[in-house]
Amino acid sequence: KQEVTQIPAALSVPEGENLVLNCSFTDSAIYNLQWFRQDPGKGLTSLLLIQSSQREQTSGRLNASLDKSSGRSTLYIAASQPGDSATYLCAVHGSGNTGKLIFGQGTTLQVKP
């Protein structure tokens, strides 16, 4: 059974710092991995989608990497800003005849001005 874990659970950094959020999954047989942002009480905003054949994806100050064989992904945020404060979720789309995403519990990021 696929399990997704995110470390750390919470992170507080000063504005301008570069940071890395970690996601690990137990079953390397995945179609893709998606990173989401969730603001308090709000929905999920897709940030980056990495297919199983890809190593990384970039969007602006965000870079996500995927090492499928070791069951790990990282989300790198460059030059963090207070507006980046949110919970970041990773979710894997398992292989096989399933359409569901398995989510981690998230990393809550606070960027202090």
Interacting residues with another protein (CB under 8 A): 31-32, 34, 36, 41-46, 49, 51, 89, 91, 93, 97-106
* CA–CA gap between residue 106 and residue 108 (Å, rounded): 6
CB of 105 to another protein, least distance (A): 5
CB of 113 to another protein, least distance (A): 27
Q: Alpha-carbon Rg of the chain, whole angstroms?
A: 14
CB of 111 to another protein, least distance (A): 22
Residue 58 or 105 with smaller CB distance to another protein: 105
Residue 32 or 80 with smaller CB distance to another protein: 32
Residue 76 or 103 with smaller CB distance to another protein: 103
Half-sphere exposure of 54 (CA within 13 A, CB side): 15
| Cβ 77 vs Cβ 83: under 8 Å | no
Closest to 68 (Cα-Cα) out of 37, 31, 38: 31
